[in-house]
A and B are shown apart, each in its own frame.
Chain A
């Protein structure tokens, strides 16, 4: 059973279109992070959301954390070819002894066609 479900798995859109990627869980997280990974590289952190209902904007990217801290969405406005990549969400939960564990979703592979 996947703790964090991401949808859609694959998304191919034309440059200039808008899109939304979802990250859902039945578990509550202390924080949720979004990463972008390009081929041959490790994931790079885009944003961390901590408070239920929190909205963060990063240029054309808008991230929202659900009120119950179980889900999140990433909205991209006017997508550019440079947005192409694998988008991963990761939820952090306290696992005891001062340790937090990140659980990753399987990712959404986005292709933006010029």
Chain B
């Protein structure tokens, strides 16, 4: 496909369980981002990957959150020991770095509900 894809689209999990969210960026995009969007809120930056550089993890809210990216392709966001406040839509975006206008293309998101 031509766009960013994410899976699953919806995930319901029990408090305390671990979850893994997946993002497939647009082919050729070297930069990948994860954001969290709580109900009625804007986007909260979580983590940024660019090529082989060390990821920018400055937005991760706690050590329960981690993310990996294989080369310039798929990324997974893992939340361990989920809490109810983790309930949100998790959005992934990719972009062609090096362009001054820095346009990001978003996936449809994964809606996570922690019960």
Interface: B103 (CB within 8 A): yes
Q: Is the interface on chain A under 10, 10 to 19, 20 to 34, or 35 or more residues?
A: 20 to 34
Stretch at the interface among B67-75, B78-86, B104-112: B104-112
Binary interface encoding of chain B residues 33-58 relative to chain A, with 1 for a CB under 8 A from any of its CBs, else 0: 10100000111110010100100100
Name the residue of chain A whose CB is nearest to the CB of B9: A40
Name the residue of chain B whose CB is nearest to the CB of A49: B101
Question: Which B residues fall within an 8 A CB radius of A?
Answer: 4, 33, 35, 41-45, 48, 50, 53, 56, 91, 93, 97, 100-109
| B49 CB to nearest chain A CB (Å) | 10
Closest 7 A-B residue pairs measured CB to CB?
A: A42-B106, A106-B42, A104-B43, A48-B101, A104-B42, A92-B102, A100-B102
A97 to B97, CA, bound (A): 12
Interface: A33 (CB within 8 A): yes
Binary interface encoding of chain A residues 13-36 relative to chain B, with 1 for a CB under 8 A from any of its CBs, else 0: 000000000000000001101010
Interface: A44 (CB within 8 A): yes
Interface: A11 (CB within 8 A): no
Q: Are B42 and A107 in contact (CB under 8 A)?
A: yes
Q: Are B42 and A105 in contact (CB under 8 A)?
A: yes
Choose among A4, A97, A107 the residue that contacts B53 (Cβ–Cβ < 8 A): A97
